[in-house]
C-alpha cells in the first residue's frame, strides 16, 4: 500500500481499478462456486480432490416405493428418500416423472408440485385436455438443493369447484408411477486414507444401489484366507441390508477402477500394492494405483491366524479404527453365540418392543389420508405353530379424538394382508355397563394426552402368514363427517401414532421344522444361521476353486450377514472332500461345479438330481398325490414327494440348489449350490438376492434358469429342532389319522377286554358269595 501511495496519481488510479477488477472476478468466481461446492470445499479442506464425472439413475421403486403414489384430496403428498455418497458431489440432477391426474380438476386453481427437501422445484399445470392420460415430463433439480440425505415429494393441490367442495370427493386424485426416476450427474471425490471413515467408501449407507465390491487375493487363497474374507463380506452384507451385496473375486490383480478389499500375507504383493512391512496383523487404507478416487482396504498378516485377526477386527470393530494403517495387536475372545440370538431376529426369550424395531419418528402419521406405519421384523423360520393361536401383539396407540362415533378405524395388516381392525372411538364414548365404565376410569383408558386419546388392544398374527422377513402395517382410516353443502370446513389436523412400547412376543413357541426346506434357506439362510456366527457351519469348496467359486462363497456369506446382522467369523471352510469326515458335526454348504465336487458323486443317492457332461436327471413332484393329504393341508401342503424322473441331454448352464440330510450325521443338513460349470453359480446367487425370485425357492430342489426359478420336488424326510413329547405324540398322530383310528380301535378292544375280564371276575366272586 505504501508503494501505491508513492506512485503518481494516474498510476495509483490505474492500479486501484485493476485491483477492483481482480476482486470482482474473484467474487464472481466465489459466487458461482457457492451454489454447488459446499461439499467440495469440505472435502478439499480434508485433502480430497475432484476427479471423474458420471451419471446414474434410480427409480422410485428402487428407492423404496413398492407401489405407485395415490394422491387423494385437496392436498396430499407422497415421496421417496435418496442420498448422495460421501465421495461424490452432485453437479446435475433431474426427475423423469410419469404421472396422471383427474380430468375434473379446475386448471386455474389446481396443480402438482415437485419438492426437494421441502423446497418447490417446479409446479406442473393440470389442463383439462390432458386429464386422465399417462403423462411424462422432465424436471430439472438445482444441485444446490441436494444434500447428504434428501426427500423428494410430489404433492397434489386439487379443487373441482369454485364453491363449497368435499375434500374426500372421488374426483380429487392424481397418480405418480413408481417407475419415475431420479437421474444424477456427480463428480467423484478422492477421500483421505483414514480408517475412521469405514465402512466408507467401500459401503455408503446413503447409496440405495446394490453393493458390488471386488475381493482381491494376492495368491490362490487357502481355507484360512477364505474364512477371513468371509467374515469381511458378511460384515459388508449386513451393512448393505435391503440393497443386497455381491463380491466378485480376483487373484493376483486389481480391478482397473473402483474400490476393492485386498488380502495378502507379509511379503506378498499384487501389481501396484505391496503388503505393509509392519509385523503382525494390520489393516490399511490406500489409494488405488490406477484410480485416484478409489480406495483399497488391505488386510494382511504374517500368517493365516494374524490375517483372521485383522479381518475380525474390521468386521466387529471397524468403528474403533483410525489412521491410514492400524496394527492389530490383539482382539478379545468373542463370547460364544447362542442359538437364535441373531441381532436381526426377534428375541426368543422375551417380548420385543416396537421401539427396538423401528425409529420412533416412523411410528407417527398425520392427516386424513396418512401413510402406513410400518414395523419390519424377522423371525426364525422353524417356529412350530401347530395348534397355536398365533404370535401375540400387545398394541398401544394414540389418535386424535373423533368428534362423534363414526366409521373411523385403525387397520392392522401383515405383508399387505388384512388382519383385523379396531374402531377409533370419540372421547365421550364409554362401553356399556357400569362396571366397565368404573374400570376404564380407574385405569385411565379414556384420559387424553393433550388432544391424543390413548388406547390399547391385543391381537394375534397367524404364523402361516409370516415369512421369515415380515412387515406389520398400521393404517389410520379417518371417516370424514359430512354436514351438507357449505356447512363447516374440514380441518386436516388429525394425528395417529403407535407407541414404541408396544410389543410382539415369540417366546412361547418351540422350534421344529420339516427338512429340507429351501424356502427357509433362501429367505433366512437356515439352518446355517441358527448360530449367527455360523460356528456350526462348514463350507466345502472344490479342491481347486475358480474365481466364480470364490465369488459365490463370499456373496453367500454376505447374504448370511444380511440375514443375521452379524459377521460369520466362526465359519469353517474346507477345500475338497478329504476333510469332510471331520466335519460330521456341522451343517454343510457345498459350492462348486458338478465335475469339481466329488461329494456330489459320493452322495448321489441322496440327491434329487444328477448333472453330468450334457446329461441331466431331475426328480419331479406328482401334484396328484396331494389329493391324498386333503385331510390335513396345514401340515402336508409343502410335502410333494417325487413320483417320477426326467432325463435329458442339454448344454445349458443352469444352476441347481438342493438340500438333503447329511449322510455323516442324522439331524444335520446339506445344501448344494452347483451347475455344469462354475460360471453358472452366479445365477443361484442372483436368484437368492432377488426378492421376486427367492420366493420361488421351495422344497428340496430348485433349478435356476436366468430369471426363472422352478422348484421340482419337496421330499421332506427329516426334522430339526425339538418339541415336548406330549405335543410330538399329538402332532404325529394328527399326521397319521388312519393309524390313529387303528390305535383307537385296538385301545377300545383292549379296554373292552379288560372290562369284560374284570366284570367277569366280579360276577364269579358274587356267585361264590351267594352259594356260600
**Residue 535 in this model has a pLDDT that exceeds 80:** yes
What φ, ψ does residue 381 adopt, rounded to 5°?
-75, -5
Residues 500-528 have a mean pLDDT of: 92
Question: In this predicted structure, what is the pLDDT of residue 486?
Answer: 64
- In the predicted model, is pLDDT for residue 23 greater than 80? no
| pTM for this predicted structure | 0.82
pLDDT band at 43 (very low <50, low <70, confident <90, very high): very low
Among 29-43, 61-75, 152-166, the least confident range? 29-43
- In this prediction, residues 197-216 reach a mean pLDDT of 93
Q: What sign does the dihedral 473-476-479-485 (CA atoms) show?
A: negative
Nearest of 662, 768, 650, 680 to residue 717 by alpha carbon: 662
The least confident of 195-204, 290-299, 645-654 is 645-654
Say what the pLDDT of residue 654 is: 80
User: Is 50 exceeded by the pLDDT of residue 44?
Assistant: no
Strand boundaries in 556-707, DSSP class E: 572-575, 587-591, 609-611, 615-621, 642-649, 655-661, 669-675, 701-705
Using an 8 Å Cβ cutoff, are 594 and 612 in contact? yes
pLDDT at 485: 61
233-237, 691-695, 737-741, 756-760, range with greatest mean pLDDT: 233-237
Q: Which residue is listed with cell 467440495?
A: 40
Instruction: Name the phi and psi angles at 441, rounded to 5.
Output: -70, -40
In the predicted model, what is the mean pLDDT of residues 161-179? 89
Averaged confidence pLDDT in the chain: 83
* Least confident range of 16-20, 436-440, 492-496: 16-20
Provide the pLDDT confidence category of residue 3 given band limits of 50, 70 and 90.
very low
- pLDDT at residue number 588: 96
**Interval 702-716 mean pLDDT:** 80
pLDDT mean over 50-61: 82
Share of the chain above pLDDT 90, in %: 50
The neighbouring-strand residues paired with 498 are 397
Q: Please report how many Cα atoms fall inside a 13 Å half-sphere around the Cα of residue 27, on the Cβ side.
A: 6
pLDDT for 373 = 93
How far is the C-alpha of 435 from the C-alpha of 522, rounded, in Å?
A: 53
Q: Given this model, what pLDDT does residue 412 score?
A: 93
pLDDT of residue 8: 42
Sheet of 249-251, strand order: 249-251, 215-217, 260-265, 291-301, 281-288, 325-328
Q: Residue 255: its pLDDT value, please? A: 94
User: What does the pLDDT look like over 587-628, one tens digit per residue?
Assistant: 999 999 888 888 888 888 877 776 665 555 556 555 334 434
Beta bridge partners of 282: 300, 327
Q: pLDDT per residue over 341-379, tens digit each?
A: 999 999 999 999 999 999 888 999 988 878 899 999 999
Q: How confident is the model at residue 192 (pLDDT cuts 50, 70, 90)?
A: very high
Q: What is the pLDDT of residues 430-460, one digit of tens each?
A: 555 556 555 555 554 444 444 678 999 999 9
Report the pLDDT value the prediction gives residue 490, as an integer from 0 to 100.
61
In tens, the pLDDT along 544-566 reads 999 999 999 999 999 999 999 99
Of residues 753 and 18, more confidently modeled: 753
Per-residue pLDDT at 92 exceeds 70: yes
**Which pLDDT value is given to residue 627?**
36
Amino acid at each position: 500500500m505504501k508503494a501505491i501511495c508513492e506512485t503518481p496519481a494516474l498510476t495509483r488510479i490505474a492500479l486501484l481499478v485493476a485491483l477492483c477488477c481482480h476482486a470482482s472476478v474473484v467474487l464472481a468466481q466465489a459466487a458461482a462456486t457457492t451454489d454447488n461446492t459446499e461439499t467440495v470445499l469440505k472435502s478439499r479442506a480434508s485433502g480430497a480432490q475432484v476427479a471423474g464425472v458420471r451419471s446414474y439413475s434410480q427409480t422410485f421403486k428402487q428407492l423404496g416405493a413398492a407401489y405407485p403414489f395415490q394422491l387423494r384430496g385437496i392436498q396430499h403428498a407422497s415421496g421417496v428418500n435418496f442420498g448422495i455418497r460421501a465421495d461424490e458431489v452432485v453437479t446435475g440432477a433431474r426427475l423423469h416423472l410419469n404421472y396422471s391426474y383427474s380430468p375434473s380438476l379446475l386448471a386455474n386453481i389446481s396443480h402438482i408440485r415437485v419438492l426437494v427437501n421441502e423446497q418447490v422445484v417446479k409446479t406442473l399445470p393440470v389442463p383439462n385436455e390432458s386429464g386422465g392420460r399417462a403423462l411424462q415430463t422432465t424436471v430439472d433439480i438445482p444441485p444446490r438443493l441436494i444434500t447428504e440425505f434428501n426427500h423428494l415429494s410430489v404433492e397434489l393441490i386439487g379443487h373441482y369447484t369454485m364453491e363449497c367442495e368435499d375434500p374426500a370427493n372421488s374426483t380429487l386424485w392424481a397418480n405418480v408411477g413408481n417407475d419415475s426416476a431420479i437421474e444424477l450427474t456427480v463428480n467423484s471425490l478422492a477421500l483421505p486414507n483414514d480408517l475412521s471413515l469405514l465402512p466408507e467408501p467401500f459401503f455408503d449407507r446413503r447409496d440405495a444401489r446394490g453393493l458390488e465390491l471386488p475381493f482381491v487375493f494376492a495368491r490362490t487363497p487357502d481355507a484360512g484366507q477364505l474364512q477371513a474374507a468371509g467374515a469381511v463380506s458378511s460384515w459388508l452384507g449386513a451393512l448393505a441390508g435391503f440393497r443386497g451385496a455381491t463380491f466378485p473375486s480376483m487373484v493376483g490383480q486389481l480391478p482397473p477402477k473402483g474400490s476393492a478389499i485386498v488380502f495378502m500375507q507379509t511379503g506378498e504383493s499384487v501389481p501396484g500394492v505391496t503388503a505393509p512391512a509392519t509385523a503382525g496383523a494390520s489393516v490399511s487404507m490406500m489409494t488405488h494405483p490406477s484410480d485416484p478416487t478409489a480406495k483399497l482396504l488391505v488386510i494382511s498378516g504374517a500368517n493365516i491366524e494374524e490375517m483372521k485377526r485383522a479381518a475380525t477386527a474390521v468386521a466387529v470393530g471397524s468403528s474403533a479404527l483410525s489412521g491410514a494403517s492400524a496394527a492389530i495387536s490383539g482382539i478379545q475372545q468373542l463370547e460364544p453365540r447362542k442359538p437364535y440370538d441373531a441381532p436381526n431376529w426377534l428375541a426368543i426369550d422375551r417380548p420385543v418392543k416396537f421401539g427396538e424395531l423401528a425409529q420412533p419418528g416412523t411410528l407417527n402419521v398425520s392427516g386424513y389420508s396418512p401413510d402406513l406405519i410400518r414395523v419390519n421384523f424377522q423371525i426364525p423360520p422353524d417356529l412350530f405353530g401347530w395348534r397355536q393361536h398365533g404370535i401375540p401383539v400387545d398394541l398401544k396407540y394414540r389418535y386424535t379424538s373423533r368428534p362423534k362415533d363414526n366409521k373411523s378405524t385403525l387397520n392392522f395388516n401383515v405383508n399387505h394382508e388384512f388382519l383385523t381392525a379396531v374402531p377409533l372411538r370419540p372421547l365421550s364414548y364409554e362401553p356399556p355397563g357400569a362396571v366397565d365404565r368404573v374400570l376404564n376410569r380407574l385405569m385411565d383408558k379414556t384420559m387424553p394426552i393433550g388432544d391424543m386419546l390413548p388406547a390399547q388392544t391385543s391381537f394375534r398374527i397367524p404364523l402361516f402368514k409370516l415369512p421369515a422377513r415380515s412387515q406389520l402395517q398400521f393404517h389410520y382410516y379417518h371417516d370424514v363427517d359430512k354436514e351438507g353443502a357449505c356447512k363447516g370446513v374440514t380441518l386436516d389436523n388429525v394425528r395417529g401414532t403407535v407407541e414404541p412400547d408396544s410389543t410382539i412376543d415369540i417366546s412361547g413357541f418351540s422350534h421344529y421344522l420339516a427338512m429340507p426346506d429351501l424356502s427357509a434357506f433362501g429367505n433366512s439362510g437356515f439352518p446355517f444361521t441358527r448360530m449367527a456366527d455360523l460356528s456350526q457351519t462348514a463350507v466345502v469348496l472344490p479342491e481347486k476353486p475358480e474365481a466364480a467359486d470364490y465369488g459365490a462363497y463370499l456373496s453367500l456369506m454376505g447374504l448370511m450377514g444380511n440375514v443375521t446382522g452379524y459377521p460369520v467369523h466362526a465359519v469353517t471352510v474346507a477345500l475338497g472332500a478329504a476333510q469332510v469326515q471331520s466335519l460330521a458335526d456341522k451343517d454343510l454348504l457345498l459350492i462348486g461345479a458338478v465335475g469339481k465336487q466329488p461329494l456330489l458323486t459320493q452322495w448321489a443317492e441322496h440327491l434329487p438330481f444328477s448333472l453330468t457332461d450334457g446329461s441331466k436327471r431331475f426328480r419331479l413332484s406328482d401334484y396328484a398325490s396331494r389329493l391324498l393329504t386333503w385331510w390335513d393341508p396345514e401340515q402336508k401342503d409343502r410335502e410333494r414327494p417325487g413320483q417320477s424322473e426326467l432325463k435329458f441331454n442339454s448344454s445349458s448352464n443352469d444352476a441347481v440348489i438342493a438340500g438333503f440330510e447329511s449322510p455323516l450325521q442324522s439331524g444335520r443338513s446339506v445344501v448344494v449350490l452347483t451347475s455344469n460349470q462354475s460360471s453358472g453359480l452366479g445365477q443361484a446367487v442372483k436368484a437368492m438376492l432377488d426378492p421376486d425370485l427367492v420366493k420361488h425357492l421351495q422344497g428340496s430342489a430348485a433349478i435356476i434358469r436366468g430369471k426363472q426359478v422352478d422348484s421340482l420336488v419337496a421330499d421332506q424326510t427329516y426334522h430339526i429342532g425339538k418339541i415336548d413329547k406330549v405335543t410330538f405324540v399329538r402332532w404325529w398322530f394328527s399326521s397319521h389319522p388312519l393309524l390313529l383310528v387303528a390305535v383307537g380301535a385296538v385301545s377300545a378292544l383292549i379296554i373292552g377286554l379288560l372290562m369284560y375280564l374284570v366284570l367277569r371276575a366280579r360276577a364269579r366272586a358274587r356267585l361264590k358269595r351267594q352259594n356260600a
